[in-house]
Amino acid sequence: MYTIFIVEDDPVIAGALQKHLEGWGYRAVCARDFSNVTAEFAAASPQLVLLDIGLPFYNGYHWCGEIRKVSKAPIVFLSSAADNMNIVLAMNQGADDFIAKPFDLNVLTAKVAALLRRSYDFAGATALLQHKGAILDTASGRLSYEGQSAELTKNEFRILQLLLEQKGRVVPRSAIM
């Protein structure tokens, strides 16, 4: 089951999207803390993001850039600001598609299904492990924290992955070795 992360500050639209997508068998998670979307993104570990432009605190372009630092999950902008400049800016920030509001939920679902099919039919979904703002992308072996990222060596990656998967528990030396 694919997870879709909805970043929409209008509760009516977010709720309608969530209900509709869940009706099609997707797991839909709505962002709640618009000042820390990246952490919620990591916690949800979605395969696709639906992102509005006009959001509290930071706009959708900002969050698109932040998500792109840690993930290659498809991002679809949903916005009533559908002029050419906004569409070009969204695509240049890393978006995969742009759907103008108002939109038909069935068209949105078809586009979501097509993006998921193209993105994941031949490759597994990327898993993100997160703890206190640090995000480990297990597909690429990159660690990100507060907008900075680093490549890890094979051993550093394995140790950090083990510790993040077992967070809150004591990991014996023998398991690390």
- Residue 133's pLDDT is 83
Instruction: Quote the CA–CA distance of 124 and 28 in Å, as a whole number.
Output: 19
Q: Is the pTM of this model over 0.75?
A: no
- Residue 121's pLDDT is 67
- Residue 4's pLDDT is 94
Report, as ranges of residue numbers, the positions in the chain whose pLDDT lies below 70.
Answer: 121-126
Q: Per-residue pLDDT tens for 89-123?
A: 888 888 888 988 888 888 888 888 888 888 876 55
CATH 3.40.50.2300 occupies which residues in the chain? 3-120
Burial of 130 (0-12, 13-18, 19+ CB in 10 A): buried
Longest dimension (CA), the chain: 58
- Residue 145's pLDDT is 87
Q: What is the homologous superfamily of the domain 3-120 according to CATH? A: Response regulator (3.40.50.2300)
